[in-house]
């Protein structure tokens, strides 16, 4: 009978793994301000006391098949997982701004409860939720005063963290939130080499080390942010996803703080308002467009300075970005409306392979040059924070307008502004 029960248990867990989901129980915790946070507990398939509890703060992807499959694989390797979605717990609309506004009280409550458990634990976050995790960790340190500032926490793991206050308009340099420089923690940052913030990693590490955080960097080659959560992952992303369970164990083995290390949370923290992004075509103080040279999908090189003398719409995009694709037809129509000697569209693709773009162009009509920013350096020079981002550049190579979202480019008001920039050049010629 005993063997039969074990066999039945094994079959049940095998079915759950095959289906890509694990069985979870839920419990609620109350924050200091009286809000309730729901914790979904996914127990290990077979208990392993040596494996830490993983506390995963998600941001809207908990029900994805890719994430459930990942949870099952961690469970099969002996990890218990708590999964928490704060926006879901608080019944708050899911948006980047609402994530950035979370104060961290919910995370502090979860960590305080984790500290009472027998196991060590590791809080994990992705993207913008990493900002909230740092806030919650600081509140937990101040309220609970854990030994050496981290207690039973082995490490905090931030996957491709987005710790920036979104700029008002495209082209403005994003600013790190004050919590970054105020944090004092053992932190592992997992940074895909094709990620959006690759070129800002040094700035981030410097800010985190301001208050003696111990930062360990883990690089994942040839993949983008969110690689293990993508609905249509490519083969490289799938392989990297399959390695994630073993990779995490390896990263943790080299990033443990020593017994002598103490982390002291900053008591005072200046509040910062979350920036409201300006919508539509936004006029900006004229500044020179950064020159660059990139190749198109067939290896033909284009120097951007060669476009001087005409008005240019410079568009930064990616084929995996639905809003980017959505605005292409209106850009085609816009290009048709003008003499190519007066106005032209130049698009810069973010870090995709020439073959990927060639395949995309077979499916979607694009009537303007597509250049490939293979390493993301040009996008970084233009302070691209989100996709799509675009700039209207006058005939003298000065940026005059920016757009930080998809729009209908052949709208009459936008065409009026473009014509105004063209007329400025025409009038200059007449005067001479």
User: How confident is the model over 325-365, as pLDDT tens digits?
Assistant: 999 999 999 999 999 999 999 999 999 989 999 999 999 99
- Percent of the chain whose pLDDT exceeds 90: 76
Residue 318 lies in a domain: yes
Residue-by-residue DSSP string for 260-325: T------S-----PPPPPPPSSEEEEEEEPPP-EEEETTS-EEEGGGGTTSEEEEEEE-TT-HHHH
The answer on 75 and 221 residing in a single domain is yes
Q: Looking up tokens 């014509």, which residue turns up?
A: 419
Residue-by-residue DSSP string for 64-133: SHHHHHHHHHHHHTT--EEEE-HHHHHT----HHHHHH--SHHHHHHHHHHTTSSS-EEEEEETTHHHHH
Residue 7 lies in a domain: no
CA distance 233 to 65: 12
User: How confident is the model over 360-388, as pLDDT tens digits?
Assistant: 999 999 999 999 999 999 999 999 988 99
At which of 253, 269, 297 does a domain end? 253
The answer on 234 and 353 residing in a single domain is no
Give pLDDT, residue 159: 97
The answer on 239 and 301 residing in a single domain is no
Residue-by-residue DSSP string for 401-423: EEESS---TT-HHHHHHHHHHHH
Give pLDDT, residue 117: 95
Residue 13 is given by DSSP the state H
User: How confident is the model over 58-110, as pLDDT tens digits?
Assistant: 999 999 999 999 999 999 999 999 999 999 999 999 999 999 999 999 999 99
Residue 269 lies in a domain: no
- Sign of the C-alpha dihedral, residues 237, 243, 244, 247? negative
User: How confident is the model over 160-183, as pLDDT tens digits?
Assistant: 999 999 888 888 889 999 999 999
At which of 233, 253, 273 does a domain end? 253
Chain centre distance of CA 222 = 16
Give pLDDT, residue 9: 39
The answer on 416 and 361 residing in a single domain is yes
pLDDT higher for 19 or 151?
151
The answer on 287 and 236 residing in a single domain is no
The CATH number of whichever domain residue 216 belongs to comes to 3.40.50.1820
- Percent of the chain whose pLDDT exceeds 70: 93
State if pTM tops 0.75. Answer: yes
User: How confident is the model over 233-245, as pLDDT tens digits?
Assistant: 889 999 999 999 9
The answer on 194 and 108 residing in a single domain is yes
Mean pLDDT of 183-204: 93
The answer on 20 and 129 residing in a single domain is yes
The answer on 198 and 104 residing in a single domain is yes
Domain with 406, as residue range(s), is 282-431
> Is the model's pLDDT at 302 over the cut of 50?
yes
Label residue 401 by pLDDT band (50, 70, 90): very high
Give pLDDT, residue 256: 78
Residue 181 lies in a domain: yes
The total of structural domains in the chain comes to 2
CA distance 231 to 272: 35
The answer on 305 and 239 residing in a single domain is no
The answer on 287 and 214 residing in a single domain is no
Residue 412 lies in a domain: yes
Label residue 275 by pLDDT band (50, 70, 90): confident
Label residue 427 by pLDDT band (50, 70, 90): low
At which of 253, 273, 298 does a domain end? 253
The answer on 299 and 423 residing in a single domain is yes
User: How confident is the model over 195-249, as pLDDT tens digits?
Assistant: 988 889 999 999 999 999 999 999 999 999 999 998 888 899 999 999 999 999 9
Give pLDDT, residue 21: 52
Give the tokens for residue 159.
Answer: 């996957």
Residue 276 lies in a domain: no
CA distance 10 to 231: 29
Give pLDDT, residue 69: 94
> Is the model's pLDDT at 28 over the cut of 50?
yes
Residue 418 lies in a domain: yes
Label residue 257 by pLDDT band (50, 70, 90): confident
Residue 273 lies in a domain: no
The CATH number of whichever domain residue 327 belongs to comes to 3.40.30.10
Label residue 297 by pLDDT band (50, 70, 90): confident
Report the mean per-residue pLDDT for the chain.
90
Closest C-alpha among 129, 127, 22 to residue 70: 22
The answer on 227 and 187 residing in a single domain is yes
Mean pLDDT of 399-413: 94
């Amino acid at each position: 009978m005993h063997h039969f029960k074990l066999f039945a248990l094994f079959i049940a867990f095998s079915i759950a793994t095959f289906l890509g989901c694990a069985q979870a129980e839920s419990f609620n915790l109350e924050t200091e301000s009286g809000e309730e946070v729901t914790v979904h507990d996914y127990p290990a398939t077979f208990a392993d006391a040596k494996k830490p509890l993983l506390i995963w703060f998600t941001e809207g992807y908990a029900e994805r098949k890719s994430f459930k499959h990942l949870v099952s694989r961690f469970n099969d390797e002996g990890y218990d997982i708590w999964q928490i979605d704060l926006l879901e717990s608080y019944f708050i609309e899911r948006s980047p701004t609402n994530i950035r506004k979370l104060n961290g009280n919910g995370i502090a409550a979860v960590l305080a409860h984790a500290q009472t458990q027998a196991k060590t634990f590791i809080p994990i976050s992705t993207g913008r939720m990493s900002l909230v995790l740092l806030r919650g960790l600081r509140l937990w340190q101040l309220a609970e005063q854990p030994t050496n500032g981290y207690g039973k926490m082995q490490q905090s793991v931030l996957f491709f963290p987005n710790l920036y206050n979104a700029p008002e308009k495209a082209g403005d340099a994003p600013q790190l939130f004050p919590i970054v420089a105020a944090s004092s923690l053992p932190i592992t940052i997992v940074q895909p080499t094709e990620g959006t913030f690759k070129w800002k990693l040094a700035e981030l590490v410097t800010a985190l080390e301001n208050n003696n955080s111990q930062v360990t960097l883990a690089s994942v080659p040839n993949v983008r942010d969110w690689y293990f959560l993508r609905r249509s992952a490519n083969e490289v992303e799938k392989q990297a996803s399959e390695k994630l369970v073993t990779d995490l164990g390896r990263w943790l083995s080299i990033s443990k703080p020593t017994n002598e290390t103490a982390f002291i949370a900053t008591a005072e923290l200046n509040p910062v308002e979350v920036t409201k992004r300006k919508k539509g075509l936004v006029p900006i103080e004229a500044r020179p467009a950064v020159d660059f040279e990139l190749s198109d999908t067939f290896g033909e090189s284009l120097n951007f300075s060669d476009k001087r003398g005409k008005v240019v719409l410079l568009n930064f995009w990616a084929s995996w970005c639905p809003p980017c694709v959505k605005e292409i037809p209106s850009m085609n129509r816009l290009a048709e409306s003008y003499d190519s000697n007066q106005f032209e569209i130049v698009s810069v693709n973010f870090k995709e392979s020439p073959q990927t773009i060639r395949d995309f162009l077979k499916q979607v009509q694009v009537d303007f040059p597509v250049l490939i920013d293979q390493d993301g350096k040009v996008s970084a020079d233009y302070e691209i924070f989100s996709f799509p981002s675009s700039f209207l550049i006058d005939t003298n190579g000065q940026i005059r307008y920016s757009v930080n979202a998809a729009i209908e480019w052949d709208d009459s008001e936008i065409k009026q502004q473009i014509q105004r920039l063209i007329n400025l050049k025409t009038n200059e010629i007449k005067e001479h």
